Amino acid sequence: MTDKRKALLLLFIVAALFVKAQDVRPDTLVIGGVTVIRDNRPLEQEPKKGFLKSLHSKKRVRKATTEWGMIDIGMSSFVDNTNYEGAGAQAYAPASNNQWFKTRGFKSRNINIWIVTQRYSLINSYVNFQYGLGLELNNYFYKQPVRYDANPPAVQDPPVVSMDPRGLTTPPERVYKKNKLAADYVTVPLMLNFNFTPDRLYPFELSAGVSVGYLYASRNKTITSDEGKLKAKDAFGLSPWKLSYVADVTLGVIALYGSYAFKSMYQRGLDMTPYTFGIRLRPADLINKVESR
């Protein structure tokens, strides 16, 4: 046999083997007159599910909804418009100036715990009335060694805040590791919610309105090198009521919030308008977005 014929024969054999390998026809067995088809192909596996449901997932639209346990984590601060040369400021904090109440930005925190929030549809779930009940916790960490007096003298417009001279010496006789004012409120928000995708599991929505807060606890906490941990508990002339503009925006799983008070948080002496901003965590909503296994 010539080399040319050998090469041609080898080519036919390879082609036949290739065709045979592509033949995926199932084997058949006949058992008791019944033909059983045995497919040798590997089983097709379902695609693995992700942790969260698809972005295109739908949800049932309800007239009213309730959500429990939302948590806000963010920053607390204030706009200081105090006239420190005025008699009111000098009576409340003698010898004070605009440096006394400077805060440490990233340490001054706001945490809101929304026990329950409800939403009632006004226009086909696109426009909703939203209200709730929660705790608003604000911490203002000061850079300077200012102290609040829980037992001021029994006189009209007594001094409440003073500067600790031992914290101002060089080097300081008393080192302040922590110095904060905490102001905690029971708060009720009343808002209009605009949901642009009410049937989507991952919505785009905006809310805006007002909140009413009642001061239920306030304290000045210090930790120093020689005194250790001290807490002075009192109202310190803070206003018992806090009215604020509030707003939030939700895009899918991300929710942001903010608030700005109507007026100063102090009844006298200091003119400081508080505000907050941060991120909102919605555990119950996140659970609804988790893919079932």
112 and 29 in a single domain? The answer is no
The one-digit pLDDT tens for each residue of the chain (293 residues) are: 566 666 666 666 656 655 555 554 555 655 555 555 655 666 566 666 666 777 668 788 899 999 999 999 999 999 999 999 999 999 999 999 999 999 998 899 999 999 999 999 999 999 999 999 999 999 999 999 999 999 999 899 999 999 999 999 999 999 999 999 999 999 999 999 999 999 888 889 999 999 999 999 999 999 999 999 999 999 999 999 999 999 999 998 899 999 999 999 999 999 999 999 999 999 888 887 776 65
18 and 102 in a single domain? The answer is no
16 and 121 in a single domain? The answer is no
Residues in the chain: 293
**69 vs 72: CA distance, rounded Å:** 10
Does residue 267 fall inside a structural domain?
yes
Residue 76: what are its φ and ψ, rounded to 5°? Answer: -115, 140
Does residue 58 fall inside a structural domain?
no
**Residue 27, domain extent:** 3-38
3-state DSSP assignment of residue 183: strand
150 and 15 in a single domain? The answer is no
Residues 89, 101 contacting (CB under 8 angstroms): no
Does residue 45 fall inside a structural domain?
no
Residue 59 has a pLDDT of 81
Q: In the numeric block, which tokens belong to residue 3? A: 């080399």
185 and 268 in a single domain? The answer is yes
Does residue 22 fall inside a structural domain?
yes
Does residue 55 fall inside a structural domain?
no
Please tell me the pTM assigned to this model: 0.81
Residue 7 has a pLDDT of 61
**105 vs 143: CA distance, rounded Å:** 10
Does residue 264 fall inside a structural domain?
yes
13 and 153 in a single domain? The answer is no
Of 204, 232, 230, 206, the C-alpha closest to 218 is 232
Residue 43 has a pLDDT of 58
156 and 30 in a single domain? The answer is no
Please provide the DSSP assignment of 255-281 as one string. Answer: EEEEEEESS-SBSSS--EEEEEEEEEE
9 and 70 in a single domain? The answer is no
Residue 16 has a pLDDT of 60
Does residue 146 fall inside a structural domain?
yes
164 and 232 in a single domain? The answer is yes
The total number of structural domains in the chain stands at: 2
30 and 145 in a single domain? The answer is no
Residue 29 has a pLDDT of 56
Residue 171 has a pLDDT of 92
Does residue 47 fall inside a structural domain?
no
158 and 246 in a single domain? The answer is yes
Task: Look at the block and give the residue holding tokens 């906490």.
Answer: 221
134 and 16 in a single domain? The answer is no
